[in-house]
Structure formats: C-alpha cells, structure tokens
Amino acid sequence: MLKGKTALVTGSTSGIGLGIAKALAQQGANIVLNGFGDAQGPKREIEALGVEVDYHGADMSLPAEIEAMMAFAAQRFGRVDILVNNAGIQHVARVEHFPPERWDAVIAINLSSAFHATRLALPAMLAADAGKGWGRIINVASVHGLVASAEKSAYVAAKHGLVGLTKVTALENATTGVTCNAICPGWVLTPLVQKQVDAKAQALNLSNAEATKLLLGEKEPSLQFTTPEELGALAVFFCSPAADNVRGVAWNMDGGWAAQ
C-alpha cells in the first residue's frame, strides 16, 4: 500500500517507534530511523522487510539538528511522505520538586520537536500529488494527552500540547490531502516500562506477573499491555485510503484507561 512512500519515524531505534517503523515498512514504505543507542540492529530488521532504510541521529531537543535530519531525509528519498513524531522522554516528580532543566527537556523533545518536524515536512507534502497534496502526520501522544497522573507535570503538559498541535495541524490542512492525527497509548511494554515492572517486583517482593498486574491494575482496566505491533497497525490505518477523512483525532489505545 505504501510502496514508493517514505516514512520518517523519530525515536525509532526501539519500542513504539520501531514497531511503527516496521509496520510501515511491511506496507512498502522506505524508512528513516532516528533515535539514541544502537541503530544497526533496527536497520537490519527493517532492511529484512525489503525496503530501503537510513538513519539520522538528530538530537530532537535541538531545532538545528531536526532541520538537518529533515534535509537529510529529503535528499535521500525526495521527500517525507509520512512523519511519525514519536520521540519522547519522561521525568517523574511533584511540581515543586521538578527540576526546571528536566521540564525544559521534556517539553523540547516531547512537544517542540513535533512542531519543528511538522513545519519542515508540510511544504513538500502539500506540493505532492500534482499540487493536490498527500501526506500523513502521526503524533504519538499518550493517554496522558487526554487525562493526567500525579508527578508527571511536564509529560502530561507536553502530551496535552501534542494533541492540541494535532488538531490545529489537521484544521489548517483540512481541504488538502494531508492529514494529521494522534495515537494515545496507555501502558506499552517497552524497555522503559519493563524497568518499572522490575522495580515494583523488587520493592514489593512480587513475581514479575504479579508486579505487572499491579502496575496495570492502577490505571488500565483490560489488565494487558498495548503492543508496538498494535500501534503500528493503527499507524498503517491512518496512512490508508480508508482514513482520508480521519482528521484531528486523538485515538486512544489504552485498555479502557480514559473511559473510567
């Protein structure tokens, strides 16, 4: 379905971002990866799906590096047809104890980076398809873009902001072939979340299964993790003709979290 298209996925060397990149690659899209840590393993995984893949290590807190990444993608593949703004970090503390530099970092990477990548991707998307426009902007927000949790002020503020940016971007391009939507996951079993499960198991002397159930039971009625593969399938739907008129939604995959 996406053969000949190029998808740039930020924060895609592991976890949710890599799951979405692989799902888009399975539909034929060429992929530009971005993120910290090892890039060679993820590159090989995606190359095995039969598409072209490249990597840019832009620090998503720095606008100049985001500009360099977008220029690299355009030079390598012509343009970015699908932009997935997934890069994100977390810091947990009460507001009065929240280090200002951590607030700035969370807002920069979780929110401002999506603005910068979007503004740079839009001109080529709007010029595509003989000027009718074609593009997909998918912002990976969070259930915390819809509801709040204590001690996550920067993350919740950034994700609420990302949902707002999604709506504005969708409205500004509503008469074109460019859509913008947000995915709002609940708990996803990424390496970061596994560390939280392990810490809870150790602190409370629980088995991994018991700690997992306790973690999920606090927020997620389904008592099961959303998977990167499920999130990837939703991203593929957003890129499909069936989603041509899906615009500005914040689609939660959260096991009932926000329904409570």
- The answer to pTM > 0.85 is yes
**Tens of pLDDT, residues 101-151:** 999 999 999 999 999 999 999 999 999 998 999 999 999 999 999 999 999
Whether 192 has a pLDDT exceeding 90, the answer reads no
Q: Is 155 annotated in the active site?
A: yes
pLDDT digits (tens, 9 = 90+) for 226-259: 999 999 999 999 999 999 999 999 999 999 999 9
Separation between Cα atoms, residue 260 and residue 7, nearest integer Å: 35
pLDDT tens per residue across span 56-96:
999 999 999 999 999 999 999 999 999 999 999 999 999 99
pLDDT of amino acid 193: 85
Question: Of these residues, 134, 155, 187, 225, which one is catalytic?
Answer: 155
Residue 196 has pLDDT above 90, yes or no: no
